Structure 1
């Protein structure tokens, strides 16, 4: 008998077992079915594949907690009560685009998977999105950040939930320039995510009246020592150092910047894509006063707290961040569209399902009301936070102070500026 995580299972399905989480965390490229829901006789089974970094640098940022949030979405949807059968699968893309694309083909062709979610690597997401388009399936990206996913590399089968590089740049760069941070230097990983995040932020800095004095792209995912890049930033004379990286890379960068005493040198540190899991890992002593943006914070309001209470029994050591919340939100909205058009039609055509997802307004406990735009960009309000000082925090995971909220229609790049080729303007 499998040992269950604490917390009772809902009628829709079982709690995620420790064995299942461990299997996902140490995954060979492909795992079996993680959970099954519903027992409708004769009804087709909707299959959801969670493709993420289950064992590498982005494990806590996405990984098993995203898998738990996908399960929570299915449980909250209660497919058994709607006569719908659902299965969840999980796999590790290993931060490799070829591995991700091969897994997507196998899932779509051999395992009858209908939608792939998460994929917290922009290069992998672009590859999976292309496979989804070839197969008339869906890639519901809830992890990768490049704004190119709904810009020049958009396709009708790829949907983008929560943050992207344009949104992060739009929230953070003008605020810091107005606050005196006019001269910038960037350190970024040398792949699609880092390039798009650095590009979008540099543009926002310049539009706000600031200047970019330099940038460095480092090998990903092999870099762990950032000392030479930090020295280049110091020599540039920049007053703001922007880390355009994430997860383990970001955490190491913040720690090493603190060891180098960059703050004492008059250099302000900002991280352009930051999650509460990063703050928890690095600690408030190092991250205090850091300005960041997330679309979700577990303690933002009654609805976010209610969602967090439901999912924490599955992942008690890792509070949900906006990537985890996006996986919940995206899966829940996808299932609402399946119910709208029927599981048979949803399995037959990813495009018909996406059309239904775009017709239906989005609303959930993580992000509140929003919508899915014609270019596949899901929009909702986002928030600018500062990190609390250790003396201000009341305990573990009590880390953010709200600076401002950016309305949904202002938070994301306008459709007309994205260059999405399948949108006819």
Structure 2
């Protein structure tokens, strides 16, 4: 072969190599299914959990997406949302349509444990991601999957942890008022275990229907029990009704009242006069740090309300999910779930978090107390942070997990 031919051959080979290099270096964008990353927010948008989650969670997810410029791996990020009406069959039906017809890659929030369990199982079958902010500890226990993670809090952190603190303070006889579905049952179970583990006794329990407005008869039976502590194993308007009606009936001066699942919007609804002195554990408070204040002010500008811990958790979950796609260079659920467990979590609220083997997001919790009206300087200035509870103390030890993914 002549030198001229050799040069021509070499030039051609170099061109082919360059083309191959481009193809080889570009699978990141080619590995996004449907050329779009689609995230769904599925929660209560019209019922008792709509204030603590609802469209506020949609806005929180939108803020996370905007941080990425609306794209990941060069592909558009789309956000869809729907109201499951606190019904597992409706939630599962929406999720099925999203997965099978609309190409949704991940669903976040839920705000209802029964709906969450239905979608978590379906998502695992469909090889999709779930980012759960509902409260049952079973999401990372017996129901855990390789593709699901649980954010914010659970019935162990806020049920067991709070009941342990109260029992150790001498409130060692407890009466449970439990909302009658998966969420309430999970909280009641964890409260009961904490009380008995710490030498106390649960003297009785009444279960009431979800979204009950008149809880007077239940409260009066709790009062008659003479228990030192009444625990409202409920959330949203059910919980606020118990707190307000306990004040109205004069129960709280004589018996302590604990509510394991309290949100900023609940305190806003009750008012400081009714809620003052109430202590509970939270994963987020908007005014805790400069970073949390800055992010919360952006949220407030859009929603005219400060974010709850669920809404902050949705932001954190969606942001971490997108970072995992970026690191995995694909939106394949298994690859992304693995990256979510590998990558540390650091954002405006979580300073040194991680996703544990069972899918539990490990982060510090905070014991807070509701301020007296005279202590509050402005609207939404409601909490005093009493103490930080390290993640390893806040959440159930991994060795005690019922998750089948955990190596024993």
How far, CA to CA, are the matches of 1:42 and 1:183 in structure 2? 57
Secondary structure of the equivalent of 1:98?
helix
Checking the alignment, whether the CA contact within 8 Å between 1:280 and 1:397 is kept in structure 2 is yes
The superposition leaves residues 64-105 of structure 1 with CA deviations (integer Å, 9 ceiling, x where unpaired) of 111100000111233448523100000001100011111111
Partner of 2:257: 269
Checking the alignment, whether the CA contact within 8 Å between 1:140 and 1:160 is kept in structure 2 is yes
Structure 1 residue 42 displacement after superposition: 11
Partner of 2:333: 350
Partner of 1:279: 267
Aligned 1:305-344 pairs, distance under 5 A: 305-316=293-304, 318-342=305-329
The superposition leaves residues 156-178 of structure 1 with CA deviations (integer Å, 9 ceiling, x where unpaired) of 22210110000002431122223
Partner of 1:103: 94
Residue 123 (structure 2) aligned to one of 118, 132, 142:
132
The superposition leaves residues 314-354 of structure 1 with CA deviations (integer Å, 9 ceiling, x where unpaired) of 211x2101100100000000000111122xx31xx312110
Checking the alignment, whether the CA contact within 8 Å between 2:52 and 2:308 is kept in structure 1 is yes
Aligned 1:283-302 pairs, distance under 5 A: 283-302=271-290
How far, CA to CA, are the matches of 1:149 and 1:57 in structure 2? 22
How far, CA to CA, are the matches of 1:238 and 1:50 in structure 2? 40
Checking the alignment, whether the CA contact within 8 Å between 1:307 and 1:366 is kept in structure 2 is no
How far, CA to CA, are the matches of 2:269 and 2:287 in structure 1? 18
The answer to whether residue 366 in structure 2 is matched with residue 375 in structure 1 is no
The answer to whether residue 407 in structure 2 is matched with residue 416 in structure 1 is no
The answer to whether residue 220 in structure 2 is matched with residue 231 in structure 1 is yes
Partner of 1:147: 137
Checking the alignment, whether the CA contact within 8 Å between 2:160 and 2:193 is kept in structure 1 is no
Secondary structure of the equivalent of 2:349?
coil
Checking the alignment, whether the CA contact within 8 Å between 1:50 and 1:90 is kept in structure 2 is yes
Hey, which bits of structure 1, 4+ residues long, moved more than 3 A? 40-43, 79-82
Residue 192 (structure 2) aligned to one of 181, 189, 202:
202
Checking the alignment, whether the CA contact within 8 Å between 2:72 and 2:322 is kept in structure 1 is no
Partner of 2:202: 212
The answer to whether residue 77 in structure 2 is matched with residue 93 in structure 1 is no
Secondary structure of the equivalent of 1:241?
strand
Checking the alignment, whether the CA contact within 8 Å between 1:171 and 1:384 is kept in structure 2 is no
Secondary structure of the equivalent of 1:332?
helix
Residue 58 (structure 2) aligned to one of 43, 47, 67:
67
Structure 1 residue 424 displacement after superposition: 2.8
How far, CA to CA, are the matches of 2:155 and 2:285 in structure 1? 19
Q: TM-score, normalised by structure 1?
A: 0.86
Residue 303 (structure 1) aligned to one of 291, 297, 305:
291
Secondary structure of the equivalent of 1:159?
strand
How far, CA to CA, are the matches of 1:166 and 1:81 in structure 2? 35
Could you tell which deviates more after superposition, 203-212 or 109-118? Answer: 203-212
Note the residue ranges of structure 2 that are not aligned, 5 or more in a row.
1-28
The superposition leaves residues 341-394 of structure 1 with CA deviations (integer Å, 9 ceiling, x where unpaired) of 22xx31xx3121101110111111022220001111101000001111111111
Partner of 1:13: none
How far, CA to CA, are the matches of 1:109 and 1:81 in structure 2? 22
Residue 249 (structure 1) aligned to one of 229, 238, 246:
238
How far, CA to CA, are the matches of 1:115 and 1:82 in structure 2? 16
Q: TM-score, normalised by structure 2?
A: 0.90
Cα 1:156/1:80, change in 2 over 3 Å: closer
The superposition leaves residues 125-171 of structure 1 with CA deviations (integer Å, 9 ceiling, x where unpaired) of 000001100100011112x1000111112222221011000000243
Note the residue ranges of structure 1 that are not aligned, 5 or more in a row.
1-39
Cα 1:41/1:178, change in 2 over 3 Å: closer
Checking the alignment, whether the CA contact within 8 Å between 1:116 and 1:140 is kept in structure 2 is yes
